[in-house]
Structure 1
């Protein structure tokens, strides 16, 4: 099995660069904020971080591809497509532009379609989370002071803590009733949102994190962190990984039951074809 130690080290270097840019612009009086075509905000910090990461990767991994939220798909000169970095320069831009410190840079490496390295750096919170395939998951301010993390041992939904990002998104996805039904089954619900739901799950601080509509750059870095911490990560159909456009992440014990709860009632009751 391939090891990704050098790639994980590079992800930390990329995060150092990203942190210096994003923290320098956080709460800046001259921060420029525009709206993208989907009406979500983008700041000059988002674009500057992604450009800086692209520049470093062009020097250090010229044969690798790159997918970024702000500038889309770019391939290395070889164009082999086997290895691709996936970057969300600032996950939680809405928080960032309002001065809320819960935002992060998400950096992932995909080998083929599999996320094999993931790093989340939240400099305003002075915290990082990271993992590489087969190497476990960790958190800390830096690698030298890392602490291994593990998902919880909760086995009953009635004891579970659930985090999500938006109630309205579930209704937009025609799963609002299923979502609300799940919230009534669990012990506790909170809307930590964005990356923070998933890293708390990896730490064992909560047990379920779900979103009905998300992009690859929102999820790719989170998959290795959760799975290496002992959890499970699929889309709403139960397919593993970050490619399905939705996210169901659990401590593993609760996954099958959560997927069943999130299936619309008409689908659960429909006779087999």
Structure 2
């Protein structure tokens, strides 16, 4: 699992994911799980904070000069230099309800661009990773393999996913998203990290989210692009910091953007 130029960083990200998995799997469905609400009313568990604190402790020892931005403890990822962008548990609502679709997301951003990404979903038995120039990969029950996006070239044949339909009314346009669904073959709401990973696998063709945070999609951006796909915000900018996200196999990207633009 080494990539010239980023081999040590990818090895470290893998260690961080291993540490996170040990904590999250131990706390999943725990009867004493402590849950509170953040100012935006989204839930946070003691597992979220424990995972981020554990990752930060390792980074402080291994990469003391790198910045860190995490969902629970804050921080920053400047446009210049190196920063680790962390989501200790993406899919916290699933986690606290006992739904096994959640993951730890770890990205290394260099000069504003994600260059290493690891997404680990231990209850799904799946881990995705990528580094710039090294392709994207998946390990699951069937073994380890390189990833490649689909070759679907028409929206009428495309498989589309989002996270929550209601957010389109609040943050973008429900009508624009429905226009995209009507142009596609099938639609689902696999949600969060999983849909972007499925685009990288070639199982989905389009994944759209109208509201995201940087830690939600930094790792997904490098995984999707290294699998041959395209990742932008809904304005078409290739950034994880745009507040929205669209990942596709590349062939469908411009047409999807056109339908989603208000």
1:137-176 equivalence runs, <5 A: 137-141=136-140, 145-176=143-174
Equivalent residues of 2:79, 2:111 under 8 A apart:
no
Aligned-pair Cα RMSD in Å: 1.7
| 1:174 CA drift (Å) | 3.8
C-alpha deviations, 1:95-145, integer Å up to 9, x for none?
Answer: 000000000000000001000000100011111000000000000049xx5
Please point out which of 7, 10, 18 is paired with 1:8: 10
C-alpha deviations, 1:203-243, integer Å up to 9, x for none?
Answer: 00010000001000001000110000000000111000211
TM-score when normalising by structure 2? 0.96
| 1:80 CA drift (Å) | 11
User: What corresponds to 1:31 in structure 2?
Assistant: 33
Equivalent residues of 2:149, 2:249 under 8 A apart:
yes
User: What corresponds to 1:62 in structure 2?
Assistant: 64
Distance (Å, rounded) in 2 between the aligned partners of 1:45 and 1:28: 10
| 1:146 CA drift (Å) | 2.2
TM-score when normalising by structure 1? 0.92
User: What corresponds to 1:88 in structure 2?
Assistant: 87
Distance 1:80 1:225, change over 3 A: closer
Which is greater in Rg?
1
Secondary structure at 1:106 match in 2: strand
Secondary structure at 1:124 match in 2: coil
Distance (Å, rounded) in 2 between the aligned partners of 1:101 and 1:46: 15
User: What corresponds to 1:268 in structure 2?
Assistant: none
Please point out which of 198, 202, 205 is paired with 1:204: 202
User: What corresponds to 1:136 in structure 2?
Assistant: 135
C-alpha deviations, 1:61-87, integer Å up to 9, x for none?
Answer: 011010000000068xxx996100000
| 1:46 correspondence with 2:48 | yes
User: What corresponds to 2:124 in structure 1?
Assistant: 125
Secondary structure at 2:109 match in 1: strand
User: What corresponds to 1:267 in structure 2?
Assistant: none
Comparing 204-213 with 174-183, which one deviates more in the overlay?
A: 174-183
User: What corresponds to 2:98 in structure 1?
Assistant: 99
Q: Which consecutive unaligned segments of at least 5 residues does structure 1 have? A: 265-273
Q: Which consecutive unaligned segments of at least 5 residues does structure 2 have? A: none
Secondary structure at 1:146 match in 2: strand
Distance (Å, rounded) in 2 between the aligned partners of 1:36 and 1:150: 37
Distance (Å, rounded) in 1 between the aligned partners of 2:101 and 2:166: 21
Distance (Å, rounded) in 2 between the aligned partners of 1:175 and 1:37: 24
Distance (Å, rounded) in 2 between the aligned partners of 1:81 and 1:204: 32
Secondary structure at 1:125 match in 2: coil
